[in-house]
């Protein structure tokens, strides 16, 4: 039996992932840590209903510090959901025909949701916290088939405006990645990651990245020229035999997602093309309703194009 193509949207419970330092620009874009939940429930519900109506079948939920884990309640921001609240929401999501998939980003560029442990990278207490949070998240989601680990943008350039900078290099990055992967697989899930490590370290990536890990290369522009290494990465991942879920966004331009779908469909073998992921990269707040709903509309348009092929 053929598994249906994934049509997914990344939806944020937690939005604490970008910066530990406030600037006017970051405040305006919401890309700065906040000690409270940034979530408007009516918009959350409307996005999910729109996704179901659009024919989408998966929601990737950025969990982070938006749930008060039994194992580590100290991570939770003010207003965080209880585990029982999350379970009720997941049941509601499933009844809409959407498959909920958890995401916890362990990149040092996007781990402010780990609170004090984000400054304990690669230490015994850090590993214990990560192990317990992954296990509890997988249990709350009912042993999902996929578990997104993030792992993007761990570079000096992406942290140049941070007060506290951590960049793992060489074998340490891989040892920690294998640790997260092991915890996810122990929970019965398949690891899923952003693929941009390959942009800067292709030889290490091909040598060390397991084929069992689902790959989401991402690119948010309008031109799909192969001169762009972001675009070339789709071809390279296909050449090396990795399963892919190409990722687009309405972050920059409105045409990106449909072009991502067309490009992926034309360049990735069907047996390795597992689906597509849309990312609005905005908090789930009423101020961003038009942006969020437009992201879903763009997926609906891409689904209609795919069905005509």
Residue 299 lies in a domain: yes
**How many other CB atoms sit within 10 Å of the CB of residue 216?**
25
Residue 91 maps to a domain: yes
- Average pLDDT of every residue of the chain: 97
Provide the number of structural domains found in the chain: 1
* Residues 263-309: tens digit of each pLDDT: 999 999 999 999 999 999 999 999 999 999 999 999 999 999 999 98
Of residues 303, 10, 1, 305, the one with CA closest to residue 152? 10
Task: Evaluate whether 61 touches 101 at the Cβ level (below 8 Å).
Answer: yes
Mean per-residue pLDDT for 11-16? 97
Confidence class for position 18, pLDDT limits 50, 70, 90 = confident
Q: Per-residue pLDDT for 123 more than 70?
A: yes
Residue 280 lies in a domain: yes
Q: What is the pLDDT of residues 153-199, one digit of tens each?
A: 999 999 998 999 999 999 999 999 999 999 999 999 999 999 999 99
Question: What predicted TM-score, i.e. pTM, was given to this entire model?
Answer: 0.98
Quick: pLDDT tens for 187-218: 999 999 999 999 999 999 999 999 999 999 99
β-sheet bridge partners, residue 278: 9, 248
Q: Is the pLDDT of residue 20 over 90?
A: no
Domain span including residue 140: 6-308
CA distance 2 to 261: 19
Does residue 84 fall inside a structural domain? yes
Q: What is the mean pLDDT of residues 123-136?
A: 98
Task: Assess contact for 101 and 141: CB atoms under 8 A.
Answer: yes
**Any domain includes 1:** no
Confidence check: pLDDT of 1 > 70? no
Q: What are phi and psi of 148, to 5 degrees?
A: -85, 125
* pLDDT for residue 88: 98
**215-244 pLDDT tens trace:** 999 999 999 999 999 999 999 999 999 999
Say which CATH number the domain at 292 has.
Answer: 3.20.20.80
């Amino acid at each position: 039996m053929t598994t249906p193509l994934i049509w997914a949207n990344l939806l944020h419970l937690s939005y604490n992932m970008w910066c530990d330092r406030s600037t006017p620009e970051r405040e305006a874009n919401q890309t700065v840590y906040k000690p409270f939940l940034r979530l408007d429930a009516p918009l959350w519900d409307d996005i999910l209903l729109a996704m179901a109506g659009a024919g989408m079948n998966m929601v990737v939920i950025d969990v982070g510090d938006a749930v008060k884990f039994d194992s580590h309640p100290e991570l939770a921001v003010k207003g965080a959901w209880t585990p029982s609240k999350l379970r009720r929401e997941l049941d509601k999501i499933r009844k809409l025909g959407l498959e909920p998939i958890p995401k916890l980003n362990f990149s040092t560029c996007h781990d402010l949701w780990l609170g004090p442990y984000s400054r304990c990278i690669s230490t015994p207490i850090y590993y214990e916290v990560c192990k317990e949070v992954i296990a509890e998240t997988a249990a709350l989601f009912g042993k999902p088939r996929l578990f997104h680990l993030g792992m993007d943008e761990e570079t000096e350039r992406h942290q140049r405006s941070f007060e506290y900078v951590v960049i793992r290099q060489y074998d340490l990055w891989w040892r920690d990645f294998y640790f997260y992967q092991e915890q996810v697989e122990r929970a019965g899930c398949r690891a899923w990651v952003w693929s941009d490590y390959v942009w800067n370290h292709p030889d290490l990536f091909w040598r060390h990245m397991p084929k069992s890990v689902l790959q989401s290369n991402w690119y948010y522009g309008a031109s799909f020229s192969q001169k762009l290494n972001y675009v070339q990465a789709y071809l390279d991942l296909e050449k090396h035999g990795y399963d892919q879920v190409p990722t687009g966004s309405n972050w920059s331009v409105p045409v990106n997602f449909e072009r991502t779908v067309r490009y992926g469909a034309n360049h990735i073998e069907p047996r390795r093309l597992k689906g597509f992921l849309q990312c609005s990269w905005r908090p789930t707040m009423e101020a961003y309703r038009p942006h969020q709903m437009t992201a879903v509309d763009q997926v609906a348009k891409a689904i209609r194009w795919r069905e005509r092929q």
